[in-house]
Amino acid sequence: MAKTLDIPHIDLAGDVSIPQFGLGVFQVPPDKTFENVTHALNVGYRHIDTARAYQNEAQVGQAVKSSDLSREELFITTKLWNSDQVKPIDTLKQSLKLLETEYVDLYLIHWPAPGHDLYVQAWEGLVEAQKQGLTRAIGVSNFQAEHLRKIIDATGVTPAVNQIELHPYLTQHGLRREHADRGIVTEAWSPLAQGAVLDDPVITEIASAHNRTPGQIVLRWHIELGNVVFPKSMTPSRIEENIDIFDFELSAEEVERIEALDRGMRTGPDPDTFNG
Ligand SMILES: NC(=O)c1ccc[n+]([C@@H]2O[C@H](COP(=O)([O-])OP(=O)(O)OC[C@H]3O[C@@H](n4cnc5c(N)ncnc54)[C@H](OP(=O)(O)O)[C@@H]3O)[C@@H](O)[C@H]2O)c1
């Protein structure tokens, strides 16, 4: 029986509400995904972040189907890969088939891939996909301010979210302000910098003060900034640890100390040059 927790939600445009916390399944191999997602759902996760490129949509769908949760209780995101930007609707339909669902809750353009110059066209496709009911909300990922401006100017439609690399070593202050100005919700990918921030002395000191783990401190920092997060873990005890962050708070000073760790460090590609 899946456990129910009180996870905060954030409202997106169009009467859609997103759980602020979920599970990311990047680099979870297909043969481990069913078990991974099933464990997460059992311990209270209701939001799964996958992508066509992760090649595990089918196993996410199987885990959802075999759980005792209804589709309406879950929030599922998937993403359009760069080479599919010319055919967003057909590609989304393929993802829906793999996920065994009639709709996703959020569909994202995975990267702008500016070298291909197709992301405006792709965005028009996502706008149409939402009209057709294939996705409840639409957004983008890895878009810089200039990419956001171009798609909004071309269509008049603002993405509900922008999913960007964001963690204490890459705090994305400027882009977060751009999001706030435009009413875009910030989703933080690699929220733990794939583990690279967990030994930082500032993080470990704050963790000791709260009697929490470094991972919990970093995830709590994201929640207090208003970011949506979905850490990836294939370790059952960490899956449980990561969601156990809703019964304590950081002080304003602690939030600022973590923010001050920014060093512009990317763990992934630069969106201005990555065309994948
Ligand atoms: N849009 C994009 O371009 C993009 C790019 C990258 C990621 N994402 C999304 O963001 C999600 C998360 O990002 P990510 O997977 O790159 O990195 P992450 O969540 O920052 O870190 C995952 C790594 O941290 C370890 N870990 C997890 N919880 C931990 C804890 N409590 N203590 C210590 N180590 C812990 C995991 O190890 P174990 O698995 O061994 O436990 C794994 O090696 C992805 O799954 C995906 O959904 C999106």
Structural domain boundaries in the chain: 9-195+227-237
Residue 224 has pLDDT above 80, yes or no: yes
| Distance from the alpha carbon of residue 231 to the mean position of ligand 1, in angstroms | 5
CA 80/CA 167 separation, integer angstroms: 24
| Distance from the alpha carbon of residue 60 to the mean position of ligand 1, in angstroms | 16
CATH superfamily of 9-195+227-237: NADP-dependent oxidoreductase domain (3.20.20.100)
Which pLDDT does position 3 carry in this prediction? 86
* Ligand 1 atom closest to Cα of residue 26: 45
Average pLDDT over residues 173-188: 98
Ligand 1 pocket test target in 18, 21, 25, 26 with most atoms within 8 Å of CB: 26
What is the value of pTM for the model shown? 0.98
| Distance from the alpha carbon of residue 261 to the mean position of ligand 1, in angstroms | 19
pLDDT tens for residues 187-214? 999 999 999 999 999 999 999 999 999 9
Quick one: which of 179, 158, 107 has its CA closest to 136? 107
pLDDT tens for residues 65-109? 999 999 999 999 999 999 999 999 999 999 999 999 999 999 999
| Distance from the alpha carbon of residue 131 to the mean position of ligand 1, in angstroms | 32
- Using CB atoms within 10 Å of the CB of residue 14, give its burial: 0 to 12 exposed, 13 to 18 middle, 19+ buried: exposed
pLDDT band at 164 (very low <50, low <70, confident <90, very high): very high
Question: Mean pLDDT, the chain, as a whole number?
Answer: 97
CA 204/CA 188 separation, integer angstroms: 21
* Ligand 1 atom closest to Cα of residue 216: 31
Residue 242 has pLDDT above 80, yes or no: yes
HSE-CB at 214 with a 13 A cutoff on CA atoms is: 17
User: Which residue has its alpha carbon closest to ligand 1 atom 11?
Assistant: 24
Q: Is 45 one of the annotated active-site residues of the chain?
A: no
Q: Which of 45, 54, 107, 169 is catalytic?
A: 54
H runs (alpha helix) in 6-159: 30-42, 57-66, 88-99, 119-131, 145-155
Is the distance from the beta carbon of residue 75 to the nearest atom of ligand 1 less than 6 Å?
Answer: no
Which pLDDT does position 156 carry in this prediction? 98
R_g of the chain computed on alpha carbons: 18
pLDDT band at 1 (very low <50, low <70, confident <90, very high): confident
* Ligand 1 atom closest to Cα of residue 215: 31
CA 140/CA 155 separation, integer angstroms: 14
Span of 4-8, 22-26, 176-180, 211-215 with lowest mean pLDDT: 4-8
